[in-house]
């Protein structure tokens, strides 16, 4: 599903070139539940942004679903993300002036432009799946951290993405809520064969995944599969 071939990412810091990702070669298959781990500053979020089509590599090739996304322009990349990819962020990134229902609906209007009846059907199903049906008319500042993350997960999934990228999705959550969120994502992965790729420090996620990729100073130092 995802193939990275000799991918590098260098940022210009004044007159200094900062090489964050170095010769990344990585393949991820359909339906995998993967954690990218490593110390702070190792490049985990950068890798997520690159293979999630939020950023472009300095050089190298990234192929997703047989498409070389490194050659797509900004508009085509946005369309590709909208049809194939969902994101869950540590800070939730919910729109404060929109209700729970409207936050989940937003990508269906802005990206996929689905008819109202189809939007409603998808949203109500996901609200039920994430146990937020009774909160659908509330606004983000009326919700707990765990509830906001549930909304963020529903928003990421409402476009029926093939791949979900999650950057430290449990960092702001207590243990019980973190475990509930991980279980929810695992159930979705099993039911829909959705690929989940996490960048995380959270041991609870690490012990739940099927594959652990360790990144140190922009280089993969370990890649192992674990018993599910």
Of 54, 86, 105, 93, residue with least CA distance to 172 = 93
26 part of a folded domain: no
Q: Is the dihedral of CA 24, 52, 56, 70 positive or negative?
A: positive
Residue 67 in domain? no
Pairing of strands 2-13, 16-28: antiparallel
Cα atoms found within 13 Å of the Cα of residue 193, Cβ hemisphere only: 3
| d(C-alpha 1, C-alpha 13), whole Å | 33
* Residue 195 to residues 8, 11, 113, Cα–Cα distance (Å): 23, 29, 24
81 secondary structure, DSSP code: H
| Domain assignment of residue 107, yes or no | yes
Total domain count, the chain: 1
Q: Is residue 65 part of a domain?
A: no
CA atoms within 13 A on the CB side of 40: 0
Residue 42 placed within a domain:
yes
Q: What is the pLDDT of residue 145?
A: 85
Q: Is residue 9 part of a domain?
A: no
Q: Considering the domain boundaries, does residue 208 fall inside one? A: yes
Per residue of the chain (228 residues), give pLDDT as tens: 899 999 999 998 888 889 999 999 999 999 999 999 999 889 999 999 999 999 999 999 999 999 999 999 988 998 898 889 999 887 888 999 999 999 999 988 887 778 899 999 999 998 988 889 999 999 999 998 888 988 998 999 888 899 999 998 888 778 888 888 888 889 889 988 999 999 999 999 999 999 999 999 999 999 999 876
CATH number at residue 200: 3.40.50.300
Task: State how far the Cα of 103 lies from the Cα of 145, in Å rounded to an integer.
Answer: 15
pLDDT given for residue 197 in this prediction: 96
Neighbour count for residue 101 (Cβ, 10 Å): 21
Q: Which residues, 6 or more positions from 122, have their beta carbon under 8 angstroms from its beta carbon?
A: 108, 114, 158, 160
Rounded-to-integer distance, Cα 97 and Cα 93, Å: 12
Q: What is the DSSP string of 154-201?
A: HHHHTT--SEEEEESTTTTS-HHHHHHHHHHHHHHHHHH--EEEEE--
Chain centroid offset of residue 54 CA? 11
Decide if 64 is inside a domain. Answer: no
Domain range spanning residue 166?
33-57+72-225
């Amino acid at each position: 599903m995802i193939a990275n071939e000799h991918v590098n990412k260098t940022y210009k810091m004044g007159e200094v070139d900062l090489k964050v990702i170095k010769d990344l070669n990585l393949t991820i298959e359909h339906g995998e539940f993967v954690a990218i781990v490593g110390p702070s500053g190792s490049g985990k979020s950068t890798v997520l942004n690159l293979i999630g089509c939020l950023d472009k590599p300095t050089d190298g090739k990234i192929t997703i679903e047989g498409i070389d996304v490194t050659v797509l322009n900004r508009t085509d990349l946005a369309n590709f993300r909208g049809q194939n990819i969902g994101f869950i962020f540590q800070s939730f990134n919910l729109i404060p002036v929109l209700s729970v229902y409207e936050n989940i609906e937003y990508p269906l209007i802005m990206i996929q432009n689905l008819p109202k009846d189809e939007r409603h059907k998808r949203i109500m199903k996901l609200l039920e799946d994430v146990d937020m049906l009774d909160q659908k008319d509330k606004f983000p500042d009326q919700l707990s951290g765990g509830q906001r993350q549930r909304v963020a997960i529903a928003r990421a999934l409402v476009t029926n993405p093939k791949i979900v990228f999650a950057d430290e999705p449990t960092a702001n959550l207590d243990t019980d809520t973190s475990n509930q969120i991980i279980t929810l994502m695992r159930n979705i992965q099993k039911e829909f064969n959705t690929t989940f790729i996490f960048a995380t420090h959270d041991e609870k996620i690490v012990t739940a995944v099927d594959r652990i990729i360790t990144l140190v100073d922009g280089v993969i130092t370990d890649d192992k599969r674990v018993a599910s």
